[in-house]
Amino acid sequence: MKAAVFREVNVAMEVEEVDVSKPAPREVLVRTVAAGVCHSDMHFFNGTYPGQLPIILGHESAGIVEQVGSDVRYVQPGDHVITCLSAFCGHCEYCLTGHLSLCQEPELRRDKGEEPRLSMNNDQIHQFANLSSFAEYMLVHEHAIVKIREDMPLDRAALIGCGVTTGVGAVIHTAAVEPGSSVVVIGCGGVGLSCINGADIVGAGKIIAVDMLDSKLELARKFGATDVINAKDTDPVAEVLEMTGGGAHYTFEAIGLKVSAEQAFRMLRRGGTATIIGMIPPGEMVEVHGAEFLMEKKLQGSMMGSNRFRVDMPRFVDFYLQGKLHLDDMISSRIKLEDVNDALAALETGEVARSVIMFED
């Protein structure tokens, strides 16, 4: 199969021929139809987060089941599926207590002594996030996919595989935003827009979008933002405190920067909750004023929107088909696999929400 292989940090990936193994008893071979190019891919491509090389990036994807292992009963060839990087084992403490997105059990991957899922000339090509969707096929554990209805367009479905689930999930699961409350979202990329969309769906009263690009702030209005702040022109903390009469009930940081994470905490009213969704670089320390904890302000993280993806993703599909999720507006461009390097570069400028690689016309 053809795949974009990542061999060296900040060096353009080449599309190469890679060998893919046959499905083990609990594995599924998925023919990739669409794959979003996400900031998380960029974090590994530019070395912000370390990874094992060579590797095939990509983790926000949808496709069609091609083959199934002998023990798989959940899907069959021809089923339409969305992938999820937070695969679950189903029996660890996290899974049994309803925190599936925190599962880290190694059984979801092949053992070192086994034939690798991906290889080239008998040398292993590592798999990113148990998926590696910048490739024509994905060989995954059956607990890394969810079956969806076939009338859902797969390019939009791919977005649900990461950005939408992360953003909407952070609103409804991690923070449990209450109807009528005030919400601030810092960063209007794919995840931030999904946060805004989620806040609108749950009935937040005031939804304030913060970014430094007017084009993205205008897009945020389409997703449900009632107010916008261009942080390039003003102090966003002071603006939020003024607009909300003392601070927001909930804030979400969807960029992954120390400064914006600290701003999210400072924007809160007494009893408010700041949720950090962005991938802050390793070694970065987020500083807050300790005395503010006496005001019962809360600072928390979120992993993939604290999802239960086999329940959540089909519901998000329904939301889209009912006109509640605005996925059409999130796709900035549809590209070919050969264009993946340009799509990653576009993320650096902040001008796009999502480019989606299409493997089929």
* CA pair distance 95, 65, nearest whole angstrom: 25
* CA pair distance 22, 70, nearest whole angstrom: 11
How high is the mean pLDDT in each 10-residue block of the chain (361 residues)?
96 97 97 94 90 95 98 98 95 94 89 92 94 98 98 97 97 98 96 97 98 95 97 97 98 97 98 97 94 96 96 98 96 95 86 85 62
Structure tokens at 163: 């950005």
Strands, sheet with 268-276, edge to edge from the N-terminal-most edge strand: 227-230, 206-211, 182-186, 248-253, 268-276, 298-301
Do residues 249 and 181 lie in contact, with contact meaning Cβ atoms separated by under 8 Å? Answer: yes
Task: Report residue 101: phi and psi, to 5°.
Answer: -70, -15
Same fold, 2-161+306-358 and 176-301: no
User: What is the amino acid identity at position 125?
Assistant: I
Structure tokens at 18: 């890679």
Of 161, 221, 171, 159, whose CA–CA distance to 195 is shortest? 171
| pLDDT for position 220 | 97
CATH number assigned to the domain covering 176-301: 3.40.50.720
Q: How far is CA 3 from CA 32, 67, 91, 141, 273, in A?
A: 11, 19, 33, 19, 41
Do residues 145 and 83 lie in contact, with contact meaning Cβ atoms separated by under 8 Å? Answer: yes
CATH architecture of the region 2-161+306-358: Alpha-Beta Complex (3.90)
DSSP 6: B
| pLDDT for position 361 | 62
**Domain range list for the chain:** 2-161+306-358, 176-301
Task: Report residue 176: phi and psi, to 5°.
Answer: 50, 60
| pLDDT for position 346 | 87
Do residues 214 and 152 lie in contact, with contact meaning Cβ atoms separated by under 8 Å? Answer: no
Q: What is the largest CA-CA distance in the chain?
A: 63
Task: Report residue 346: phi and psi, to 5°.
Answer: -65, -30
| Residue in the structure block whose two tokens are 């946060």 | 195
Of 286, 235, 9, 108, whose CA–CA distance to 100 is shortest? 108
| Residue in the structure block whose two tokens are 């992938």 | 83
| Residue in the structure block whose two tokens are 């479905």 | 157
Of 347, 333, 343, whose CA–CA distance to 48 is shortest? 347
* CA pair distance 208, 346, nearest whole angstrom: 25
Do residues 311 and 86 lie in contact, with contact meaning Cβ atoms separated by under 8 Å? Answer: no
Structure tokens at 30: 């998925």
Structure tokens at 177: 């935003």
The set of catalytic residues is 38, 40, 43, 59, 162
